[in-house]
Amino acid sequence: MTEQHASSMALQGLKVLEMGQLIAGPFASKMLGEFGAQVIKIEPPGVGDPLRKWRKLKDGTSLWWHVQSRNKQSLTLNLKAAEGQEIVRRLVAEADVLVENFRPGTLESWGLGWDTLSKINPRLIMLRISGYGQTGPYRDRPGFGVIGEAMGGLRHLTGYPGQAPVRVGISLGDSLSSLYGVIGVLLALQERQNSGMGQFIDVALYESVFAMMESLVPEYDACGYIREPAGSALPGITPSNSYPCNDGHFVLIAGNGDSIYKRLMHLIGRPDLAEDPRLAHNDGRGEHAERIDAAIAEWTRQRDRDQVLEALNQALVPAGFPYTAADIVKDPHYLARQMIETVQTSAGALKVPGVLPKLSRTPGRLGAGGPQLGEHTDHLLAGLGLSGEQVRGLRERGII
């Protein structure tokens, strides 16, 4: 990245203090850091963020860490100690944004709640992500993404009827909350330009999932309809499903647009279904979903996956197949759009996802992998005016 690029990044000059751990808070900070913000990540001395030991490790460090914590500076600090809390207050005085995802009341118990910190820095924007939010009868309950996905309504819809609810193998509830958190931070930054004042943003995991649930509630309110799991289909949207091929693979076909549906039916040799007036629009097709899906499956079963996809692409029918990591890293479209990049990390050169969203004039930065624990502690404390002797004393007392 050139100096010219560095000086023209969208969030250049923004100082972010991250006091969260694991996923929801740190993912939000990651996005801010990718667009030029200075992100100072506070971690417990000796152990650091538990994510450092999650999933697959290389040289003792999580490979996930090098995605989640890129572009961050690591400062070790004992937040339970008065001296550590005082350092946070000094950092807050210079910060634009503070991100935290502790259980509600935790920061307050350390003397670092919103009322205290906003008096130190009235321009501070504080992003607070928790399982159930800062208010309400459930506020004190611990909550991870899986619980947010359950309470938000998503888990009831996953899987097949009559079977145990399944999960997507990623922390979707946490990441959705991070995205809403970043939106909140950007809104607050925009408003601060007018008022000169900061504010706090209250994001709950379950609400972030619930916001994705489309017409779930009005369908129940108006019709008494409770949506149920439907396997690979999308109930009421037809055709949109997975279909078997003769080589053991599946393809995903989304032929639910009216004109797309007609092209698909002619392609598979079913002009009768294409021209049936009852099936001209989605409401009618939804009533005949099984019949339509059976016709498509009969066609796909006679061909291998590549043949099916080639024919569908030629007919301009949206189609694809479930990509694995191996498919992703070699796909020419991923590569052409710089969505697979290589960075240098403590574990060596590592392929990682690229940066989103893509800005034309002030694009984001990939940067380096995640920092080593406490890598920037001395530098950051010196920037606060602490002497080398003071830093050594803090280290001897276990504050850093």
43 SS3 class: strand
From 159, 207, 163, 166, select the one nearest 183 (Cα to Cα). Answer: 207
Place of tokens 């499903």: 241
Task: Assess whether pLDDT exceeds 60 at residue 218.
Answer: yes
| Range 304-327 average pLDDT | 97
Q: Which tens digit of pLDDT belongs to each residue from 155-208?
A: 999 999 999 988 888 999 999 999 999 999 999 999 999 999 999 999 999 999
In the chain, CATH 3.30.1540.10 sits at 240-244+250-320
* Confidence band, pLDDT 50/70/90 cuts, at residue 42: very high
- Report the alpha-carbon angle 47-42-176, nearest 5: 100
Residues classed as catalytic:
174
* Confidence band, pLDDT 50/70/90 cuts, at residue 235: confident
| Bridge partners for 352 per DSSP | 341
| Type of residue at 317 | V
Cα 222 off chain centre by: 32
Spell out the residues 6+ positions from residue 240 whose beta carbon is closer than 8 angstroms to its own.
233, 234, 253, 254, 255, 256
- Domain 3-211+335-396 sits in CATH at 3.40.50.10540
Q: Give the HSE-up count for residue 233: Cα atoms under 13 Å, Cβ half-sphere.
A: 18
From 348, 342, 302, 296, select the one nearest 319 (Cα to Cα). Answer: 296
Lowest mean pLDDT among 65-69, 153-157, 307-311, 345-349: 345-349
Lowest mean pLDDT among 128-142, 158-172, 254-268: 158-172
From 15, 67, 61, 6, select the one nearest 342 (Cα to Cα). Answer: 67
Predicted pLDDT of residue 7: 55
| Range 330-353 average pLDDT | 93
Q: Which tens digit of pLDDT belongs to each residue from 61-109?
A: 999 999 999 999 999 999 999 999 999 999 999 999 999 999 999 999 9
Predicted pLDDT of residue 168: 87
**From the CA atom positions of the chain, what is the Rg in Å?**
25
Predicted pLDDT of residue 330: 96
Q: Give the HSE-up count for residue 53: Cα atoms under 13 Å, Cβ half-sphere.
A: 4
| Range 213-218 average pLDDT | 96
The Cβ of residue 317 has, within 10 Å, a number of other Cβ atoms equal to 21
| Range 277-291 average pLDDT | 96
Q: Average pLDDT over the chain, rounded to whole?
A: 95
pTM of the model: 0.92
In the chain, CATH 3.40.50.10540 sits at 3-211+335-396
CATH superfamily of the domain spanning 240-244+250-320: formyl-coa transferase, domain 3 (3.30.1540.10)
**Percent residues over pLDDT 90 in the chain:** 90
